[in-house]
């Protein structure tokens, strides 16, 4: 679970003030040093950093298995993670997605991730999807106590397989990718549900994992929908109660008869 601490606050209710305490989540800057080179700083939650680090390098395409990591250590006092990888990093790193303030946004997915549905049909059930979101909701009770934490899970019609929390929406997927590698769980064609808005960066990460359906309690961005259309991923938004909105590849989601009546 995500780390949290307690702070004294003044609570105002109907014009009256009272002393109280509130749990707040921790924000943890973690510097990455790889093969002796300063790479980046991740602003994340400070728990289970091994999952976060392995997932980060997996989704960046630097490792395919744990054997590609020669050593990994984290100094929590100084917020420093030092890793040695089998392969050298490229001189100039080219992220899958890049964005710039006022200069436009470019979106690129590797060719092998585009339109995989043409080669491999996927099928999911609405009952399984609602059940998976409920399992995620039940695991994140603390979200209602202090807010500020995002959660995500990977599963199938049989239930939840992996669960992660972080202050960053996209880092929940990074953590899932790392934990899946540690535990030998294949995310190919699985469902991914998340508590927060789905962005294009999150779709790119899910596509690299082979996820076939993404769902959120809120909305996806327009670019996220475009990437899902390209990658053959079913995108579901506003998954609440017995309702949902399907933004891409609806043919892959089988709607139960009772739900179909309620949605009609």
Q: pLDDT tens-digit profile of 165-219? A: 998 888 999 999 999 999 999 999 999 999 888 988 899 899 999 999 999 998 8
In which band, very low, low, confident or very high, does the pLDDT at 10 lie, cut at 50, 70 and 90? low
Residue extents of the structural domains in the chain: 28-90, 111-263
CB-CB contact of 221 with 202 (8 Å): no
Distance of alpha carbon 259 from alpha carbon 210, whole angstroms = 27
* pLDDT for res 66: 96
- Residue 140 pLDDT class (50, 70, 90 cuts): confident
- pLDDT: which is higher, 175 or 115: 175
For 19-55, the pLDDT digits (tens) are 887 676 788 899 999 999 988 888 888 889 999 999 9
Q: Average of pLDDT values for 66-81?
A: 93
CA distance 249 to 191: 14
Task: Tell me how far apart the alpha carbons of residues 230 and 117 are, in angstroms, rounded to a whole number.
Answer: 10
Model confidence pLDDT, tens digit, residues 117-134: 455 678 999 999 999 999
pLDDT greater than 80 at residue 6: no
Question: How does the average pLDDT of the chain come out, rounded?
Answer: 82
Phi, psi of 136 (to 5 degrees): -65, -45
> Dmax of the chain from CA atoms?
63
Cα–Cα distance measured from residue 236 to residue 258, given in angstroms and rounded to the nearest whole number: 18
Domain 111-263 matching CATH 3.40.140.10: the answer reads yes
Give the three-class secondary structure for 20: strand
Query: Residue 201 and residue 199: Cα distance in Å, rounded?
Result: 5
Rounded Cα gap, residues 93 and 74, in angstroms = 23
Once rounded to an integer, what is the mean pLDDT over residues 258-262?
A: 48
Catalogue the active-site residues: 101
pLDDT of residue 142: 52
Q: Quick one: pLDDT at residue 117?
A: 47
3-state helix, strand, coil split of the chain in percent (to 5) is 30, 35, 30
Q: What is the pTM of this model?
A: 0.81
As a whole number, mean pLDDT of residues 44-71 equals 92
Does the structural domain 28-90 have CATH classification 3.40.50.2300?
no
The dihedrals phi and psi of 232, each to the nearest 5 degrees, come to 75, 25
């Amino acid at each position: 679970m995500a780390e949290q601490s307690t702070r004294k606050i003044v609570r105002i209710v109907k014009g009256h003030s009272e002393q109280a305490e509130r749990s707040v989540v921790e924000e943890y800057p973690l510097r990455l040093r790889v093969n002796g080179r300063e790479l980046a700083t991740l602003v994340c939650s400070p728990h289970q950093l091994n999952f976060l680090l392995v997932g980060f390098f997996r989704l960046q395409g630097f490792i395919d298995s744990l054997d590609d990591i020669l050593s990994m250590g984290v100094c929590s006092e100084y917020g420093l993670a030092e890793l040695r990888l089998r392969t050298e990093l490229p001189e100039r790193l080219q992220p899958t997605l890049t964005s710039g303030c006022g200069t436009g946004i470019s979106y690129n997915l590797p060719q092998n991730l585009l339109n995989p549905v043409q080669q491999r049909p996927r099928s999911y059930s609405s009952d399984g999807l609602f059940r998976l979101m409920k399992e995620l909701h039940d695991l994140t009770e603390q979200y209602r106590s202090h807010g500020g934490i995002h959660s995500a899970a990977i599963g199938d019609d049989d239930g939840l397989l992996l669960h992660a929390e972080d202050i960053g929406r996209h880092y929940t997927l990074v953590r899932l990718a790392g934990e899946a590698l540690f535990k030998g769980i294949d995310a190919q064609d699985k469902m991914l549900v998340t508590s927060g808005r789905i962005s294009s960066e999150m779709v790119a990460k899910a596509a690299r994992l082979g996820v076939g359906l993404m769902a959120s309690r809120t909305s996806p961005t327009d670019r996220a929908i475009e990437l899902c259309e390209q990658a053959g991923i079913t995108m579901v938004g506003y998954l609440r109660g017995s309702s949902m909105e399907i933004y891409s590849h609806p043919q892959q989601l089988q709607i139960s008869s009772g739900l179909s009546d309620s949605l009609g």
